[in-house]
Amino acid sequence: MATQTDDHQGVEELLDTLAQNNDESVEELTQDGMALLRVGFDELSDMGQIKEFPEFFLRLARSTGLRLVLLKRWTSGLQVFLEENIQLPEEAKNKRRDGKAPIPSTDEDIFHALSEDATVYAGPVPVKHFPLDLTLMLGRGSRDRRIIILPLPSQNHWNTFLYLDADKETEKFLAMAEILAQFSLARMCLINKGIANRKGAVDRILKSEISRRQSDLAKKSVTGPEPTADQALDPFVTDPPTEDQTQAGTAVETAAAPASAPVQEIETKGMTPESILNHSGELPALPKAACHIMAVIEDPGTTATKLEQALAMDQALTAKVLRIANSPFYGAVREIDTVSEAIVRLGFVAIRNWTLVTAARSVFLSPGAGMLYQKIWRQSVMSAMSGQLVAQTLGSSNPDSVFIGGLMQNIGQLVLARSHPELFQEIVNDSAAQGLPYHIVERDRLGFDHGELGALLIKEWNLSQELEEAVRWHHGFQEEGATNNRVAAMIALGEEIGLTSGDTGENRDSGPEENLSLAANYLQVTPETLEDLKARAAELKIDPHFFS
């Protein structure tokens, strides 16, 4: 960002004065706000280059406390280039190894609409048209804030965006920022060879979101209290629906609820684990090469030579097996470079497990999967490896079953995300907003949790009934009627250790801090042993190929 000049000090000085006076009344703020707008208009009117506009809003954010994010939209999604008054993860700022943008977006979201319409979006977060990964990065309560998104032109394409929002302490400045954003857009259109604003998709998204919120508010007001003064209907949204909106089936009310109105929840009555798993039309199937390798391993007459020949059918899996065999997780002391040596070091069961890991990832994580889905997957693999450490430490006769259980217990989340992405988004958002474990919100909304979905997938993939039961009960191993409780508790403890040792992010699925040792207590694991397991699991993070 360029250094601001002495000619452009007015807005910042006025804002510093406002910020220093916390007891200022609304009337005084309005008077000073008009002065702020006049000075802002003068500054913006003097600008002759597009790059000066984000510099202006960066200074505005620094002076007011408004949160600001500068994003660029590529064909594969969004990338963060700058933030102010908010800390975003580093992975949001760098393209992925495959060259794709870190935040997936679609042709249905608000950023695509802004690119098409070249207009300002100012209103509530359009939940169904806002990238899930970005919602989670912006933090708890973000979807209930009023936001401003200002598109910026580059070579006649409006593919860069300034995002602004505010908390209760700084929302008094947001209305002024909106006016300045609208004026900036007009100025940029003139600078950028007179490109005119277009209207269409953004307007429909805004009206659709406001209508959705008002509909929910109306339902709640039948038995609830009257709206307070700050919940008054918006008098400006009074236009009847256009012909295009009517044809598209967009319901537009004559008055709108405020941005803080609660969002209507997706109807989940009658939903079952089976209906969720079958929603896409057919159950997700394992790749043929993986099925062949697993069948070879399960054959009692299989030899190392036959397994080596089966692995040769999938070069990517062969390379992964070699990397895993040379990893510290399997105690590698010297490097091996042949599949036959890898088979000897790992054994048939471990190769079967990692074949399943690779196959399951290919089923659920498409090349454009977002950071949240990637995080769930990483946590599933961490839980699997941590669970195997638990089983080995406790002398389990079949630690590999705990490994697969740890992998499959969170795959139920990916099943829901794939089958009902909007419902999945609501549960993740509610979990973050309420500070509750994900599976607790799941049970409240659905009547069951992702363990049920993972168990169904295990049954579909013919893994084993004992594993199916353990995954189903890994969040309820102490409940009446639970089966295969000990393995279920090992899976739960592996997940707990994986969460505290790995990359947890927003997808925290364990209970409150005081409940973290429920599984440890059930399994009679001492605090010293638990700490040792966590330390050993933390070392597993040095093997990034486990997660790819």
pLDDT digits (tens, 9 = 90+) for 50-68: 889 999 999 999 988 999 9
* Each residue's pLDDT tens digit, 442-496: 999 899 888 888 888 888 888 788 888 988 998 888 888 888 889 999 998 988 8
d(CA 356, CA 321): 12
d(CA 243, CA 264): 26
Domain boundaries, the chain: 8-198, 201-220+231-262, 280-364, 368-548
Which superfamily does 368-548 belong to?
Answer: Hypothetical protein af1432 (1.10.3210.10)
- CATH class given for the domain over 8-198: alpha beta
Helices within 394-484 (DSSP H only): 399-409, 411-419, 421-434, 438-446, 450-460, 465-472
| Average pLDDT value for residue range 222-238 | 36
| Average pLDDT value for residue range 206-235 | 56
pLDDT given for residue 30 in this prediction: 55
Given a cut of 60, whether residue 242 has pLDDT beyond it is no
492: CB partners within 8 A, 6+ apart: 474, 475, 477, 518, 519
* Each residue's pLDDT tens digit, 403-415: 888 888 878 888 8
Q: What distances in angstroms separate CA 381 from CA 137, 258, 410, 494, one per listed residue?
A: 22, 42, 9, 10
**Which residues sit opposite 146 in a β-bridge?**
124
% of residues, the chain, pLDDT over 90: 13
Q: What distances in angstroms separate CA 217 from CA 20, 221, 259, one per listed residue?
A: 37, 6, 11
Given a cut of 80, whether residue 518 has pLDDT beyond it is yes
Given a cut of 90, whether residue 84 has pLDDT beyond it is yes
Q: What is the DSSP letter of 136?
A: H
Given a cut of 50, whether residue 230 has pLDDT beyond it is no
pLDDT given for residue 507 in this prediction: 40
Given a cut of 60, whether residue 216 has pLDDT beyond it is yes
30: CB partners within 8 A, 6+ apart: none
pLDDT given for residue 11 in this prediction: 59
If pLDDT is split at 50, 70 and 90, which confidence band does 368 have?
low
* Each residue's pLDDT tens digit, 265-324: 566 677 888 888 776 545 556 777 778 888 888 888 888 888 888 888 877 778 888 888
Q: What is the DSSP letter of 148?
A: E
d(CA 30, CA 172): 9
* Tokens 């889905």, residue located: 373
**Axis-axis angle for helices 110-117, 201-221 (nearest 10):** 140
Given a cut of 90, whether residue 162 has pLDDT beyond it is yes
Quick one: which H or E segment has residue 69?
strand 67-74
pLDDT, the chain, mean: 76
pLDDT given for residue 61 in this prediction: 92
* Tokens 């509909």, residue located: 215
